[in-house]
Structure 1
Amino acid sequence: MSAQRKDFSLDGLFGVKGLDVVITGGGTGIGLYMAKGFAVNGAVTHIVGRRREKLEEAKETILGLKSDAQVTIHVADISSRSEVDGLAKSLEKVDVLINCAGIVLPDPPCTHLTPLAELQKAMLSSPPETWSQTFSVNVESVFYLSVSLLHLLAAAPHGGRIINVSSIGSTMSDPNTHQPAYQASKAAVNHLTRLLASKFREHGVRVNAISPGYFPSQMQDPSNPKSNLARSKELVPLHRGGEEEDAAGTAIWLASRAGSYVDGQVIPLSGGRDWGLGSEY
């Protein structure tokens, strides 16, 4: 019996045409970059967010790139269990789920050089809502939406894929940052990724995470000269911030045949910044 012929073409390895891809936070930032990549390459792309106007703008942007792209809008607050349930019931087919929605809430600034009394006061002044809201959006929504869509992902012809969006803040311990709730939540996403991978593996669903560095987004304003993105030439070993194609390409790799042997992993997407290289070190 002859061996089955393998398809090493780009479409065969990296093709996502016809896949139903659900992207939370798909109206802005990294979620939108990924939505562009999937939609332009033929995926049926579902973008989820709280603000209809942002989703409408995102859809128009995508259609400007490919007029016949298939883009569907879903208005939902994924921090709400009832709205997650409603979203799950509205979907009939899901091949890929990308949990990209996330928030970072400001905390009083402090560093390792802050005098002890001021350091303690600043860190204790972080309100309880900062922690509860951050974990609700960044961690709990990932768990509940992934589980709610498990039956659809398990029915995907070539296996379901979940891609969680973490952050290099999940592993870096830079004392100059002051986002403890955000960084802790993203560390939780990393472990949740491995947990879900272990739970879902017998049902043919792979779970991985992407850990981005500095990308243009609502969290990283390139016009702010003090932002890490603006300083990326100094901070990042590759001397630049992340670009739209970097985010889209990594997600397409994990969702396609090319990434089918990757499971339970957290993929750094930071230009080497996660090594700990930069002016702070």
Structure 2
Amino acid sequence: MPHQIRFPSGATLSQVKKDAKAFKRERNIPHHEALDAAVRQHGFNLDWNDIQSLLTRGGEFVKIPFQCNVSLSLSMLRPAGFVVGPTGCDKTSIAAEMCVNVLKDGGKVVHLMYDYYGYSTIPGYIGDAMGSSSKNVPGFTRHTIDGREPLTKVLASVAPLPGTLIVLEEPQVIAGFDTKSLCDACIQWQVGFIGLVQHTEVISNIEESRVSFMIDASDLNGPGNTLKIDQAEGRSKTHSMRLKAMQVYRSLFHTFAVLINRPH
């Protein structure tokens, strides 16, 4: 995996190491200081040891516990996941469930909402599940953003801590939303990203190779009461599973589910 990693500048790990050698020679500094300088030169506000630690975790930014012992991972290579479904399918409850699971594990969640949006059910779901107003939930914050600004600038104004889960409804609206802007922003801040969209066509400009998972919630409240999850594994293999929802409590949003099909 390390050879696949690219820094926010676009440089590979090998290039960063080469630059560190040059810094050591040109600046007459210790090797570890040169490595730190090279890392920062290429867009990470981290020390070299932090990069090494990140790589030993497979470059993982956020690990999301989900239903039926399913674990979803957002990483340097695949920093984004999407929940897809039409209005009224309750996809916000699925996103909120993931947020709560991250929060219960001691993680942090930032919910972004456009300044012209009047309302979102996600904070309410989270507050209900955590037994408190969402404003008082440890690790959870909500920010109003200007959709005319690119994601990199939005995150710069929020300054999320590494390992934070970022959630945004209708991310395709944000200025210049594409694979590069999404990945650059996530990698720079070391955060995972979940977007909620009504159909996949609106994110067709996001390369599948950078998407960790896609959850189809279109039948959650339909006759089948199911969720379909396409989860990337390795470089190109896609692992599909289907969860059958037995009951959905809208006030707590928690979906009780059983795994009914998990192809090998």
TM interval, short-chain normalised: 0.3 to 0.5
Taking structure 1 as the reference length, what is the TM-score of the superposition?
A: 0.40
Taking structure 2 as the reference length, what is the TM-score of the superposition?
A: 0.42
Q: Of Structure 1 and Structure 2, which has the larger fraction of its residues in helix?
A: 1
